[in-house]
Structure 1
Amino acid sequence: MTVNKVIKVGLIGLGGMADAHRRMISELDQLQLSALCDVNDELLNKVGEEEGIGEEKRFNKMEALIQYPTVDAVISIVPNDLHAKVLELCIRHQKPIMAEKPFTLNFKEAEFLAELYEKTPIPCMVGFSYRYIPAFRYAKKLLEENKIGTLRHLEVRYLQSFGSPIFDVPYLWRFNKAITGTGALGDLGAHMIDSARFLVGEFKSVSALMRTFVPERRNPASCNMHKVKVDDYVSFHAVLEHDVVGAFLTTRNAIGSGNQHEVTLYGDIGTIHVNCEKPDEVLLSLVDGNDLQTTKETMEIPPGYRRQQLEDFIAIVTGQGHKEIPDFHDGYQNQKVLERIIESAEKGQSVNIDE
């Protein structure tokens, strides 16, 4: 595709997250929202009117949108059980896609897609959005500059509170194993895994613990209690490239936490801490080699580390991609690590990623 051509985008899924993507599309002159798809006719028509998209480009079936001749690329924001199907259709119709995480419902689906993709690859980006937090991007640069010496270990946490019993959150799709696959693990843990891969490298092994704190939730339709079969809490230790050791924790039951994704990286001469809730700050601690005194500095992010996620989607669609864009391979590897975490928790033992 020509580098400067306007890319006509088809948006599949018009739920809450779609608003953020519509805003991001509107900020970039090279993207034009040109087609919509959702099973909810009322919502489909409402958004269609807001965006000035004609009825002939409003679809209930995602394959109809994907194969539409004037749709150049697809952005998909659908529940987890549809992730693999959207990717499969885009591969079969050779349409570039930005897909949501987790990559698929399970690793079996990921393996099927990998076979298909290997034969007929397409430009594919996976929505690991925390790669676009300026602080995370700057932390990667500091690591590359050996600012804290040899990296030894890291801590990664992703904490939310909305699932705590006191809030009496009803049985939503996020608690339905058939739709979501996992709970906090796929929803939040997938981001933790990607942040570690982005900053450090590949996972070698994991040792995990998974728990469901709220075993039943109220069905909003019937008010009866519905059994919950997905996790509220996951913690795991991991060994990554260069024998870097990691401690990871995610939960939806952390009172006081809103959307708290943070990473702490420990090196021989310093520590880097970043938190998505403070996207423009990096906390850097360094020890002086002469007097062994430790300094702490809150660093503001210099220019050049702010990049809108869909700018990289444009790059990958137009053949200008680079290694830091989360692509099909990143989605596949992420799903493999998720699979091994589940396996480790079930077996109660450490599991190698590439067994």
Structure 2
Amino acid sequence: MNEVKIGLIGLGGMASWHIQKFGEVAGVRITALCDVNPAALQTESDKLGIADAHRHLSFQALIDDAEVDGVVSVTPNNTHAEILKACILAGKPLFAEKPLTRTYGEAAEVLVLYQQRPIPCMINFSYRNGPAFQYAKQIVQSGKLGRINHLFVQYLQEWGAPPSNTPFVWRFDERITGTGTLGDLGSHMIDLAQYVTGDDITELQAMLATIIPQRPDPGTGEPRSVHVDDFACFNARFASGAIGVFQTSRNAVGSGNQHDISIYGDLGTLHASTLNDGELIWIHPKEGEPGTVTETVTVQETGRLNPWRSFAGLLKGEPAPEFATLEEGFRNQAVLEAVVRASQSGSVVSVASLLSVSMD
């Protein structure tokens, strides 16, 4: 395969970023686009010089397009499962945004189909790409932290807080999104914690809350009820015995996009954050004397993963071990479901009990 031909489904805000990044990968060309909005489809297709025959209003038409080697899906959560199934049935490789699906039930159906007819697939948990998070993973793998005892993970945004006057958008509609900040930001927290530590969450207890229960309809201004969470927190036990404390909110005034992880081991502590993903704070004992040393380590941009280049490589048969597989996407969805059930029941919920239902 001399040239990799990409078809992109969904032309919302994230699409422009994917278009830009694929444009930086040698030997890759976007050959087809899909969106339900004809005006957006025409505008973006004109920019990229996409022929009329490869401008699609339905995702199935794009997946079936012979000029598409691999599909990139950037759509709301309620379409994830159907696009995954269509790609699996067509044998078309897929690079999809998280979460895997809108609900756990949908994820289980996708997993069963995938196990029967596997395809090359990457689920985009984008914070794996950051240099500081990558370096944190390397330190943990090296053993320099010793045994991991506990960790703290948070993902805070402010766009839903009262000063922002945010109207009722699709991320507040349970029919489209499934859960609120849990599935949106919480899925990133879960993935990053398990990825950096190399450890799996096995059980948890949780609380979900809807801090702002009504938001104005963007068209009419009339109040609409919000039935999804805009705050979530949970305590989790990992397979190693380590404990994780997690919180996420859309109502954190002053936090534009703050995703932090702190890992506490027998031999030191690591702090990494999106606030400066080129730096890692590493606290460790002084050599041969009491006390600790706090190092601020500058991490080079060359340490950043490139999922666009890796997806192109995957289409050529090259492995992409640093990126989430469909199975990992399902495990992430199982943890999200465990959070929901733990919040509803007020009890500890086992993740293994959710994995065994569909993985047997």
Q: TM-score, normalised by structure 2?
A: 0.96
Task: Name stretches of at least 5 consecutive residues in structure 2 with no aligned partner.
Answer: 354-360
Q: What is the CA–CA distance in structure 1 between the aligned matches of 2:293 and 2:29, rounded to whole Å?
A: 48
Task: Name stretches of at least 5 consecutive residues in structure 1 with no aligned partner.
Answer: none
Count matched residues. Answer: 352
Q: For the structure 1 residues 25 and 322, does the alpha-carbon distance in structure 2 shift closer, same or farther, using more than 3 Å as the test?
A: closer
Q: What is the CA–CA distance in structure 2 between the aligned matches of 1:83 and 1:348, rounded to whole Å?
A: 30
Residue of 183, 186, 193 corresponding to 1:186: 183
Give deviations 1:251-280, integer Å, cap 9, x for gaps. 001111010001000011210110012111
Give deviations 1:143-196, integer Å, cap 9, x for gaps. 111122211111000000111122110000010000000110001000000001
Q: What is the CA–CA distance in structure 1 between the aligned matches of 2:99 and 2:150, rounded to whole Å?
A: 25
Matches within 5 A, 1:65-104: 65-104=62-101
Q: What is the CA–CA distance in structure 1 between the aligned matches of 2:261 and 2:301, rounded to whole Å?
A: 22
Return structure 1 stretches of 4+ with deviation > 3 angstroms: none
Match of 2:24, as an amino acid? Answer: E
> Is 1:173 aligned to 2:173, yes or no?
no
- Give the equivalent residue in structure 1 for 2:221: 223
Match of 2:55, as an amino acid? Answer: R
Q: What is the CA–CA distance in structure 2 between the aligned matches of 1:282 and 1:171, rounded to whole Å?
A: 37
Match of 1:306, as an amino acid? Answer: R
Give deviations 1:33-73, integer Å, cap 9, x for gaps. 00000011111000011011111110000000001111100
Q: What is the CA–CA distance in structure 1 between the aligned matches of 2:203 and 2:315, rounded to whole Å?
A: 34
Matches within 5 A, 1:1-355: 2=1, 5-200=2-197, 201-288=199-286, 290-302=288-300, 304-355=302-353
Q: What is the CA–CA distance in structure 1 between the aligned matches of 2:266 and 2:326, rounded to whole Å?
A: 34
Would the aligned equivalents of 2:278 and 2:301 in 1 still touch at CA under 8 Å?
no
Q: What is the CA–CA distance in structure 2 between the aligned matches of 1:342 and 1:301, rounded to whole Å?
A: 36
Q: What is the CA–CA distance in structure 1 between the aligned matches of 2:179 and 2:35, rounded to whole Å?
A: 24
Q: What is the CA–CA distance in structure 1 between the aligned matches of 2:231 and 2:174, rounded to whole Å?
A: 15
Would the aligned equivalents of 2:278 and 2:299 in 1 still touch at CA under 8 Å?
yes
Match of 1:272, as an amino acid? Answer: L
Tell me the secondary structure at the aligned position of residue 243 of structure 1: coil
Match of 1:101, as an amino acid? Answer: K
Q: What is the CA–CA distance in structure 2 between the aligned matches of 1:91 and 1:171, rounded to whole Å?
A: 33
Shift of 1:302: 4.6
Task: Among all aligned residue pairs of Structure 1 and Structure 2, give the percentage whose two residues are the same amino acid.
Answer: 39
Match of 1:214, as an amino acid? Answer: I
Q: For the structure 1 residues 324 and 308, does the alpha-carbon distance in structure 2 shift closer, same or farther, using more than 3 Å as the test?
A: closer
Q: What is the CA–CA distance in structure 2 between the aligned matches of 1:62 and 1:140, rounded to whole Å?
A: 36
Tell me the secondary structure at the aligned position of residue 236 of structure 1: strand
- Give the equivalent residue in structure 1 for 2:356: none
Would the aligned equivalents of 2:205 and 2:349 in 1 still touch at CA under 8 Å?
yes
- Worse-matched range after superposition: 110-119 or 299-308: 299-308
